[in-house]
Amino acid sequence: MKEQKPDVSSSQEAPQDLGSQETPLKRTDGKIQVTIAFHDQKTKLLMNPTTQFSKVFAKFYAATNAQAGTYKFIYNGIRIEPTSKPLDIEMGDEDDPEIMAVLEQVGGSV
């Protein structure tokens, strides 16, 4: 029988249960909870303020089974670039910021 070794690769502690059912992902360890609204649904994700949005967008596409590049992401009327970070667009000041995901449209002329 093979001996199992404990996983020591992650230095992150387990998430704390804050007892809130409205926002089950909300944490106080420096991460921010971002809500992505699309169609009639909302997806909540946790991210570090210094993480590029490309990682969040990849998780969103995986969760929705959509092809990468299908949506563009809007926050306060400004398009979020994949290389942007929450600190770049001053998102950390807001409590539970919401990003709109809208279908990308290319072209439009006749």
Q: What pLDDT sits at residue 58?
A: 95
Quickly state the pLDDT bin for 3 (edges 50, 70, 90).
very low
Q: What is the pLDDT of residue 56?
A: 93
How many other β-carbons are positioned within 10 Å of the β-carbon of residue 28?
7
Backbone angles phi and psi of 10, in degrees to 5: -100, 125
Asked whether the beta carbons of 42 and 58 are under 8 A apart, the reply is no
Q: Is domain 32-103 classified as CATH 3.40.50.2300?
A: no
User: Tens of pLDDT along 12-62?
Assistant: 333 333 233 344 555 557 888 899 999 889 988 889 889 999 999 999 999
Give percent of the chain above pLDDT 70.
Answer: 72
pLDDT value at residue 22: 41
Helix, strand and coil percent figures for the chain, each rounded to 5: 10, 25, 65
Distances (CA, A) of 20 to 26, 27, 28, 63, 87: 8, 10, 13, 23, 26
